[in-house]
């Protein structure tokens, strides 16, 4: 009889554990927060598969370089400059943060290319100094950005004014019908694998008749030189009705996550 130290038993146990991990991940990826990247969730987590998808979509950087997902290596320049100058996006497919970054390139190619181009334009101006406010905004949106897709100006105003109970509780049916959230930040997508109400994105507002990628890129293109992260509205995305269990009135009364800020408001972006 084979013992516990039998290599065949260990291999079978390892395969079974891997299948359980994959099944658990697949179940979590069924959440609607992943809808924007859903067309690519089923592709193999490998550089070859990601590059095949990028080539099929003819993805390019703003500098005109064909986009390629490449293994990490010794850089001649910083990350953003390397992407801009060579088209190479360093990616570890087995790393969920990198994987979601790659999927966001596939889902939002114009937005990602413009974020990269704006970084590349700002870096020489900083001349090695501390990262400026514009690059802070770009990084925050790249990592944790979201789009509030809604034509209902009252609902949009409640987001800008941090009136979360009125928005997500008192008007929850209206929110479900008329407000759609699209998460574009790859770090937020990684965090969402373990949902909790403290996950907050930074959002801009677009109309339902706009293409999400085109609208986000157009918004970025209009940013003034002095833009800062305050251009983006904080948004506790797991307050969206139905995105977490037990969303009763007490859930939205938890000020750690749904703190209202009287007198504060964000731009009508």
Summarised one tens digit per residue, pLDDT across range 167-209 is 999 999 999 999 999 999 999 999 999 999 999 999 999 999 9
The DSSP code sequence of 87-105 is -EEE--TTSHHHHHHHHHH
74: its two tokens: 């010794």
Distance (Å) of CA 18 to CA 49, 50, 164, 192, 209: 20, 21, 40, 21, 42
235: its two tokens: 């948004």
Residue bearing tokens 């087995």: 94
Phi, psi of 103 (to 5 degrees): -65, -35
* Helix, strand, or coil (residue 182): strand
Tens-binned pLDDT, residue by residue, of the chain (269 aa): 455 566 665 555 445 444 545 778 999 999 999 999 999 999 999 999 999 999 999 999 999 999 999 999 876 678 999 999 999 999 999 999 999 999 999 999 999 999 999 999 999 887 766 788 999 999 999 999 999 999 999 999 999 999 999 999 999 999 999 999 999 999 999 999 999 999 999 999 999 999 999 999 999 999 998 899 999 999 999 999 999 999 999 999 999 999 887 555 655 55
Distance (Å) of CA 152 to CA 53, 113, 158: 36, 30, 10
DSSP assignment, residue 223? -
CB 57 within 8 A of CB 77: no
Angle at 35 between CA 71 and CA 217, to 5 degrees: 70
236: its two tokens: 């506790």
CA–CA separation, 28 vs 37, rounded Å?
Answer: 13
CA–CA separation, 79 vs 63, rounded Å?
Answer: 15
CA–CA separation, 43 vs 64, rounded Å?
Answer: 25
CA–CA separation, 265 vs 269, rounded Å?
Answer: 12
Paired strand residues for 204 = 147
CB 175 within 8 A of CB 120: no
- The model's pLDDT over 30-65, given as tens digits with 9 standing for 90+, comes to 999 999 999 999 999 999 999 999 999 999 999 999
């Amino acid at each position: 009889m084979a013992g516990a130290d039998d290599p065949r038993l260990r291999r079978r146990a390892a395969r079974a554990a891997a299948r359980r991990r994959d099944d658990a991940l697949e179940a979590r990826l069924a959440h609607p927060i992943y809808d924007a990247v859903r067309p690519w969730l089923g592709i193999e987590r490998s550089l070859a598969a990601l590059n095949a998808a990028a080539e099929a979509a003819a993805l390019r950087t703003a500098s005109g370089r064909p986009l390629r997902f490449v293994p990490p290596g010794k850089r001649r320049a910083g990350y953003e400059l390397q992407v801009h100058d060579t088209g190479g996006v360093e990616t570890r497919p087995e790393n969920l943060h990198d994987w979601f970054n790659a999927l966001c390139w596939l889902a939002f190619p114009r937005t990602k290319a413009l974020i990269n181009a704006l970084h590349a334009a700002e870096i020489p101006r900083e001349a090695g100094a501390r990262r400026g406010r514009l690059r802070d905004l770009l990084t925050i949106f790249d990592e944790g950005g979201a789009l509030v897709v809604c034509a209902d100006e009252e609902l949009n105003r409640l987001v800008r004014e941090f009136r979360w109970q009125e928005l997500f509780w008192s008007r929850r049916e209206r929110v479900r019908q008329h407000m759609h959230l699209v998460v574009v930040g790859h770090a937020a997508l990684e965090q969402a694998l373990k949902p909790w109400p403290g996950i907050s994105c930074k959002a801009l507002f677009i109309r339902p008749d706009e293409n999400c990628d085109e609208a986000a890129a157009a918004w970025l293109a209009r940013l003034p030189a002095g833009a800062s992260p305050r251009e983006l509205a904080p948004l506790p995305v797991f307050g969206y009705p139905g995105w977490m269990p037990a969303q009763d009135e007490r859930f939205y009364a938890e000020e750690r996550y749904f703190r209202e800020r009287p007198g504060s408001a964000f731009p009508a972006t």
